């Protein structure tokens, strides 16, 4: 009797491929495509700003409206530089100011829009 139950269980498991085979991992989303909200192939300052607001609130795990160094996952020196008022946290404004510098540096052709080549994944990074 026990052997029949084992065989029945084995047959049932073999008949359900989802249980037998692990699911394939989904490809991570393209950071440039996420930021390019109008899908024109470039990320302008407004789209960049909107993406950074998203990144800020995603990183703000305790939802207090400020990023601690642990939440920002930034190097201590860059965190201190972005923390303009020295309170040990980054406000949304301080976070955006630090990231605006990143936009200017990434926009190598100075057209006001970041191409996928210019971005290289930088728009998804939540840290200043």
Q: What confidence score (pLDDT) does residue 10 get?
A: 47
In the predicted structure, residue 30 carries a pLDDT above the cut 60: yes
User: What are the chain's domains?
Assistant: 27-124 (1.10.238)
Express each pLDDT in 43-78 by its tens digit. 888 988 888 888 888 888 898 988 888 887 755 667
In the predicted structure, residue 128 carries a pLDDT above the cut 60: no
What is the pLDDT confidence band of residue 127, given thresholds at 50, 70 and 90?
A: very low
Q: Which of 25, 38, 51, 28 has the alpha carbon at shortest distance from 119?
A: 51
With a pLDDT cut of 90, the percent of the chain lying above it is 3
Residue 69 and residue 76 in contact, taking contact as beta carbons nearer than 8 Å: yes
What is the pLDDT confidence band of residue 11, given thresholds at 50, 70 and 90?
A: very low
With a pLDDT cut of 70, the percent of the chain lying above it is 70
Dihedral, CA of residue 11, residue 14, residue 19 and residue 25, to nearest 10: 180
**If you average pLDDT over every residue of the chain, what do you get?**
74
Q: What confidence score (pLDDT) does residue 126 get?
A: 41
């Amino acid at each position: 009797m026990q052997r029949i139950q084992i065989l029945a269980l084995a047959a049932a498991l073999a008949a359900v491929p989802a249980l037998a085979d692990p699911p394939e991992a989904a490809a991570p989303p393209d950071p440039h495509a996420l930021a390019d909200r109008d899908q024109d192939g470039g990320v302008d300052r407004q789209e960049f700003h909107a993406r950074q607001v998203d990144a800020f609130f995603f990183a703000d795990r305790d939802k207090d409206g400020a990023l601690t160094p642990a939440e920002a996952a930034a190097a201590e020196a860059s965190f201190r530089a972005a923390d303009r008022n020295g309170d040990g946290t980054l406000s949304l404004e301080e976070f955006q100011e630090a990231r605006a510098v990143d936009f200017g540096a990434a926009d190598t052709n100075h057209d006001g829009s970041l191409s996928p080549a210019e971005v290289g994944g930088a728009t998804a990074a939540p840290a200043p």
